[in-house]
Structure 1
Amino acid sequence: MAAAKPQSLGQQILYEELSCSICLELFTRPKLLPCGHTFCQDCLQVYFCESQDHLKCPNCQLQVSLPPEGVTGLPENHSAAKFCEKLSKTDANADKQAKPRNKCSQHPSEDYQLYCTQCDVPVCYVCLEETHDGHSMTSLKKATKERKPVVQTLLKEGKEILGTYHDALKDMREKEKRLIEQKKQTERDIIEAYERTLKEFERTANRLRLRVQEKHNENTEARQRQMESVQREVDELAAACDQAEQEMAQGGVTFLEREDRLTEVIEKHRGAPLPPPLRTQVIAFHPKNFENMPEPLGDIVIGASAAVSKGKGDHQGNQGQGQGEERLTFGGQGSDERH
């Protein structure tokens, strides 16, 4: 965004804070990157190929994944856009309201002629007649000579105050960047804790499943041994009965030879108790109630942030107002050189 060149130190500070580091102009449709740096939308589109799905911040080189919409899908820096709009309007109004020097602010068609020492303002002849009649006057040349050092002193102090504000703004932006990085680091720590916990849960689940399988194998082996024992008895009794029955069906007398064997087998199993119920180990799982447990991953600890750093020279912040709090004091005693 092309804008008028700043004239004052205050404007210079604002322009510096609100200028894109690619085009060096005031932001146009400012886009905010996750690292905290802001650039014009058009500058980012020109700086990076539209086919890319990521970009690197031109300032800090942080790699940023682009949304499906590309650069236009990045979040807007509404604060920067608002300040740029206000600054542009201020420049436009300043250009419109610019007046030739020495023209009276109350009567634009009149030139300043005298300086009212009672009111400490320059006046034209119309002002003299309307509102300064009877006041003490001096020439503009003499007033300029006398008041210039006072104004210069005020300007010096004003610039020092502006410098303090500039340092404070710079420090705030640095802290904002650190806050963003701290947030990202905290999120990374949470993900790492989640992954560690997930792996530990997987190891625990595998260990529990292994124990379940071991107990199941023990139960299966015991049941198999019991079934094999019963099956042997069944096979013995069934074989004796089948053989005797077949020989009787043939109509001969050979079955008489099998009577003793059949009697022996029948007597063996007559009244014999059935195998007792197999006593197996019951396998069950009792999950923990995570709803009543503390946060399994960890806790979020909120600590006091560092206060804004002190200014320079006589414009130092006064600490001791409370933890995490700092009060900045701007300016000194000023000038008391008045008539």
Structure 2
Amino acid sequence: MACCSTVKTEDLDQNFLQCAFCIERLRKPKILPCLHTFCEVCLGQWVRKNVGKLICPVCRNEYPLPEKGIMGLPDNFFINNMIDFLEARKNGKAASSVPCHGCEKGAVTYCSDCTEFLCSDCSHAHRRLKVTRLHRQLSMEEYQASPHEPPVEMLRPVYCSIHKCNEIEFYCETCDVPICLKCTVIEHRVPEHKHQYCRDAVEKQRPILEKLLHHAQEKIPTLEGALDNVKFVLQQLDSEKEAAEERIREQKRSLVSTIEQKEQTLLQDLEDTYNGKKKILEAQQDGLMLGLGNVNSGCEFTENLLKYGNELALLAVKKQALQRMQDLIKMELNPRPEENACIQFTPNDALIYGVRTQEFGTLLRGNAVAGISTVNAEIPQIATVDQQQTLVLTTKDRNGKDVNQGGAIVTSKIRSPDGGVAMTKVTDNKDGTYSITYRTNKEGTYNLFVSVFGQQVKGSPFSIEASHPKKVCLEFGVRGKGIGHVKEPWGVSVSSKSGDIVVADSGNSRIQVFDKLGHFKRDFRFCGFDKKFDPLDVAVTDNDQVVISDYANKQIIISDISGRMIRTFGSERLKWPWGVAVNSYGDIHVVDYEEHCLTIFDCDGVHLNTIGCKGHAQGQFRNPICVAINSKDDIIISDRENSRIQIFDEEGNFLHLFQAPGEEEGQFKYPTGVAVDSHDNIIVCDDWNNRVQMFRPDGVFIRRIDSDNDGLRYPDGVTVTPDEKVVVCDYGNDCLKVFDCNSLMKPRSQVFVMLNEGGASKRVTTSMPRLFVN
């Protein structure tokens, strides 16, 4: 076999034969794809420590673990060879202990040309062969004493892992593995597999490995140069670190010196400020003490004179006593402190992050004096409930000049009509002014207290009247009989085509039509009946026909919007027709106040159905008064005497009801007019409480439409315009009022009572949005 490069025994012992784990001679060495070798036992422990992952501890590359585990990794035959070699070279191994390369007998000679150990028989055979007779053979003693290190060959035979008793002699090129003779005829048979002797395969692979080795060795100078560069930079890094440490220490010394100087400056400034304030307050104190002493002495003298002096004594000093008392009464002394106690130091937090040392901090002298500080403009005497109000306080110094820096301690609180106290929001504008923000949540008189450094400012507390704003956006009609005048208006409806507002002007026995801005357009009435035309409610259909309930004649009248009568019907069934409404099919729904029911006709006046009877149970009524139809054709009826709203489907089947008798928001008593908006929210005229409220389709309170300042008096009729405005007949004030529903929402908890289908009541608390009109 061709020679390998020589290796020194000491280098082999240190570089190749030591396990990186146990730092001892390798035992059962296993080689990884990265060519790093470890003891089989050590590598197994390492894999278990890494939860079954095979990671090389040297280069950190990860490889798939063979099916047989660590045992499935290839043995490092080269390391085994090294170990045998060193045992033979270093330990003076006996010849008989080194196996012959030709048989299993102990070697007695070493052929330096073939690099093989030979026993006595093989040595003689070696000398008899023509091709090897001239090879130099060394005795084992000569081999061990030789000064050079010969190439290392296998000192022990390697057996096949499959066929245990067969020595590996061949190499399968197809599978790229060494094999034994038995393998060539079983697992690696020709022609599927191509194999050759290991010696021949090595000669073929050696040039390839040598070429790759050469290219790999070419990288060594580059890597060594890179390593030298990194070492150089590390040395520079150490030098730079030392220099930077010195600069930091020098900077610290400089900063400490500057800070100490700034400290002295600020302390001196503090002392000057303190002395200035103290001088002013002490002078005021001396003046007050002198004035108090003068008043006390003058009063004491005069009191003793009146108590113990006789007539002559009193008359003798009367002139002086009178003059002294008058002078003391006229004496003016400022009862408020002429200075405050504010001296604050505000550190500059930015200094921590390395900002300039001159920004060490500022000393706040607090020159504001409460007694002459004022609120700009006028405090609003009337505030709007639930709307935020803001006023600005301007602080002044003892000389009456505006303070131009912030930092004063300004506090403010507001007392509600029921005596409750809440803090307001104070914002320091950093220029000597302070914004004070407050909000009132109910009507009544509020007191706003504003203080500077614990002293109330001039005019504090301030009295504020809070009230609800008017929500009405349009009002038209006045009491009378003339054009555009109304008297006791009751029902109202709106044309979906033109937006015209149609009103049942009950007190004037006529129907009036106004445009959406409240301008009069026309009126009409009907005659020729047994009794005087007496309209109570109106409904305008999609084709602009007007449906009118004629109470006195117990009938329903249908006309066009100009007043031309089309037909009448219902007199044979109706006793007291009141509220009217039309569904999507054109069916006419009429509430019969006296019969306690709802009667339904088609558009030709043919009777279709009757819902309800007198009573308190669900589906029963006591004087129902108005009706509305939502987008689902559900029927909403105001059951007046039962103080509730009942809802039915289009077939007349009861769905649910809601009621909350009372005067609080979300409650109502004796409801009258009802209407629905585009979201099917239900709008109810709360006649008894003089207001209009909005509820969800399920009866949950949303908000109040009007406010107390709108002054509704017996609101009865209500309708919603196409642009979401609510038109209300103000029966008691003989006018119509329009409210805009495009408003803001505010959460509001509300308690109401809903009856379920079994008739049992259930008390429900919910958080609903309350809407506020701008």
Between Structure 1 and Structure 2, whose CA radius of gyration is higher?
2
Higher share of residues assigned helix: 1
Higher share of residues assigned strand: 2
**Structure 2 length normalisation: TM-score?**
0.20
User: Greater relative contact order (Cα 8 A, min sep 6): structure 1 or 2?
Assistant: 1
**Structure 1 length normalisation: TM-score?**
0.39
